[in-house]
Copies of this chain bind each other. A is one copy, B any other.
Amino acid sequence: MRETAIIGVGMTPVSAKSGKTLPELFVKAATEAIEDAGVDRIDSMYVGNMMSGFLQRQEHLGALMATALGKEGVPAYKVEGACASGGVAANAGVKAVLSGLEDIVLVGGVEKMSGYITPEVTAGLMMAEDRARVGSTGITFVGLNAMIAREYMHKYNVPHEAIAQFPVLCHENALENPNAEFHKKISVEDVLRSPLVADPLRLFDCSGIGDGAAAFVLAPLDQAKKFTDSPVKLAASAVATDALSLYQRPDITIFEASRKASAQACTMAGVRSGDIDLLEVHDAFSVLGIMALEDLGFARKGSGVDLVKDGACAREGGLPTNTFGGLKARGHPVGASGVYQIAELALQLSNRAGKCQVPNPSVGLSQSVGGIGSTIAVHILKRTA
């Protein structure tokens, strides 16, 4: 079977005041990735996006972005998996290369969430859930995650101040990331005193939404050295789903799709969780960051917070996590976040992470979550040089 490598990455800053259109955002990230790769052609492109149909009343992002990029002609389409749209777009790109049909493949994620009133964005996010059965109750997407947080804290007897360490870590890591939405150190007290959004989740438990785009260029591993001295092997791509809605699950404190996708990805990459020394997890809400550490196999249920408290997740720790700030502080333009994660891992694994660099990581894993754990894409990247 073919193997796949990342040969170039690009991303825009995440901002709630970008002033940019969807194509402008996409083109900036994609152009940067193509220039970084040094390729003179792309064979196809896959665009991750969740909300353009609802917020921008714009679909057909494949041809739209190909045209905006000056690549009209190439095969191009949009891939959607709610907030994991970037992760599933990456999966489509990997399959395109592995199929043997395409060699130089652009994967991009883009989302524009600014310029709309809060109820519009709130309604947009609820498209990740079953609108007829759950959305019709009036509960918000934050509300669903608040139910998870409440149950998690109760079941495992974990206080809010423990979970609140996750956003503190992310804000610390984002300080040195020029593309981060927030450059602001925060404390556990800041989280606990921030305005209540949906009890128990407070403002600083929640990721920042904004506009952003990220992209990377894939090539078959055996061709990658032509383009870069430091290709990063994309060793595994796995997607799993779970029952869409919380009411359909036996235990809402576990994301089974995380377990399933990460197990499949580890098998595909030929690694065990102990081999992974770099993580990007989908901390759309503080509790999800903690749960990810557990469901991906790095901690027992209820003890994920210990990894953060012990410093393991810090850049100088044994399992550096969300080293560019994660969804919380880099920002979470939903359909783009899964691509940001992979691009950030690729920068780390090629020693190009600048002031965010951790010392010599070898194997990185990203976890992109759609809905309330209903779709999860896991990717494993490996250093090659």
B residues in contact with A268, CB < 8 Å: 101
Q: Does A80 contact B (CB under 8 A)?
A: yes
Closest CB-CB distance, A343 to chain B, in whole Å?
A: 20
**A127-B241 contact in complex given A21-B132, A257-B73, C-beta closer than 8 Å:** no
Chain B minimum-CB-distance residue to A72: B243
Chain B minimum-CB-distance residue to A84: B77
A60 and B78 alpha carbons, distance in the complex (Å): 13
**A79-B79 contact in complex given A57-B123, A95-B101, C-beta closer than 8 Å:** yes
Q: Does A92 contact B (CB under 8 A)?
A: yes
Q: Are A241 and B58 in contact (CB under 8 A)?
A: no
Digit string of A88-113 for contact with B (CB within 8 Å is 1, else 0)?
10011011101111000000000000
Q: Are B67 and A244 in contact (CB under 8 A)?
A: yes
B residues in contact with A91, CB < 8 Å: 75, 77
Instruction: For A59, give its contact among B66, B73, B80 (CB under 8 Å).
Output: B80
Stretch at the interface among A175-183, A198-206, A369-377: A369-377
Closest CB-CB distance, A75 to chain B, in whole Å?
A: 4
Q: Are B67 and A88 in contact (CB under 8 A)?
A: no
Stretch at the interface among A46-54, A154-162, A219-227: A46-54
Q: Are B127 and A73 in contact (CB under 8 A)?
A: no
A126 and B293 alpha carbons, distance in the complex (Å): 43
B residues in contact with A81, CB < 8 Å: 60, 62-63, 76-78
Chain B minimum-CB-distance residue to A21: B132
Q: A59-B128, A62-B241 are in contact. List 10 more A-B contacts (CB 8 A).
A: A44-B239, A57-B123, A60-B129, A60-B370, A67-B243, A67-B374, A73-B242, A75-B238, A76-B239, A95-B95
